[in-house]
Amino acid sequence: MRYKAVIVTLFISLLFLSACSSQKTASGEKIYQLNLNVSAGPVHPFTKQVAEPWAEMVEEETNGIVQVNIFPSAALGELSSAYEDIKSGLYEAGIVSPGRHIDTDLFPLTIGDLPFLIDDPAIAESVLSQFKDKYMKDTFKEGQFMSISSTDAYQLYSTQPIRTMKDMKKLKIADSVLERIELFKELDAIPVSLNNTELYESVEKGIVDSVAYTAVGANGFKLEEVSPYMTKLDIGVATQMFMMNQDFLESLPEEIKEMFYEKFGPAYASLITDLYTQSADKAINTFEMNVKEDGGKVIIPTEEELATFRKPAKIVMDQWVEIANKRGYPGEEMMAYFTSLLEEKGIIIPE
């Protein structure tokens, strides 16, 4: 395994790239350095079970012609700037969250972040791939779409128990995706937009009372240390689009470029789907075990209580259609197609 997991400043990383630019394999072939930016920390499940196995696969199957340098903890840039960072070549590959780029041509994919629709990464991978193929064929130029998946479902982590919608009133909740922010507004909470690397500190310092995050992600950031209560709502997922710099891809030997399109790109999404599908329930159990001694717990609302949390979902869907129409997209058509794909998967659409 030849990948490098490092956290350095951008200046140091550029010096490193300059030093390595002329490297060759033992057989004399040029080595291509691929910088992979990862927002999770070095021991987070995403880094250990997605980024590192993917880096190993790429290096082994290209016989070392492509070497992957992993930069955890968002060392090369936060998710909020990922789309432009990859397109400009600041780094070669990483996850782009469409919900953090609503003012770009990635807007159509924010449909995957709508609350109380998708709660399964496998469904996200299937449905959003079809949606992208239908409505975004000409979107990607400088940055190349490689594959798409999602996180596990979002839950609420808080300093005090949240059992009913009434407990949401004036609660300061950290999140960064427009669709969930609009949901929380409808629930009379106060959303605070923060990057995931800021969540722990924001609760610790009292900036927010609660965090909307996934079970796997929350455990990776040790949110149980500052938020001992979890309300299991399965609010929805966060779309995870794997993207690469177009110029880097075009610089590769033709055979290896095809490997990225045909195998390596889809494999990244599959690793994400496997991680979140297999680990979500375990992460919830781990959270409950870790907070039990301090009086924390996992709160599972009744169906009647869940219905009150879900009630504004249709309002947020309608808002999305309205925004899409204003931006020149066929909003009603897109929503109808998206929900039809979900219904084929057995998902009940809010009314």
| One domain, residues 39 and 81 | yes
* DSSP assignment string, 205-249: TTS-SEEEEEHHHHHHTTGGGT--EEE-------EEEEEEEHHHH
- The model's pTM is 0.87
| One domain, residues 186 and 222 | yes
Give residue 18's Cα distance to chain centre. Answer: 30
| One domain, residues 221 and 296 | yes
Look at residue 29 and tell me if it is in a domain. Answer: yes
Q: If you search the block for the tokens 């780094």, which residue do you land on?
A: 91
Look at residue 337 and tell me if it is in a domain. Answer: no
Write the CATH number for 36.
Answer: 3.40.190.170
Residue spans of alpha helices (H) in 292-312: 303-310
For residue 177, the model assigns a pLDDT of 85
The pair phi, psi for residue 196, each rounded to 5°, is -65, -25
Q: What is the CA radius of gyration of the chain?
A: 20
Look at residue 141 and tell me if it is in a domain. Answer: yes
Look at residue 111 and tell me if it is in a domain. Answer: no
* Residue of 92, 103, 96 whose CA lies nearest to 82: 96
For residue 127, the model assigns a pLDDT of 97
Final residue before a domain boundary, out of 220, 248, 279: 279
For residue 25, the model assigns a pLDDT of 76
For residue 137, the model assigns a pLDDT of 85
Q: Which residues contact 281 (CB under 8 A, 6 or more apart)?
A: 215
Q: How many domains does the chain have?
A: 2
Task: List, in sequence order, every residue forming a beta bridge with 34; answer none if it has no partner.
Answer: 68
Rounded average pLDDT per 10-residue block, the chain, 351 residues: 41 43 73 96 93 98 98 94 95 95 94 96 96 91 90 96 93 90 95 88 95 92 95 95 96 97 97 94 94 94 94 96 97 98 96 86
The domain of 163 spans 154-236+289-318
| One domain, residues 47 and 82 | yes
For residue 15, the model assigns a pLDDT of 39
Beta-strand pair 210-214/297-299: unpaired
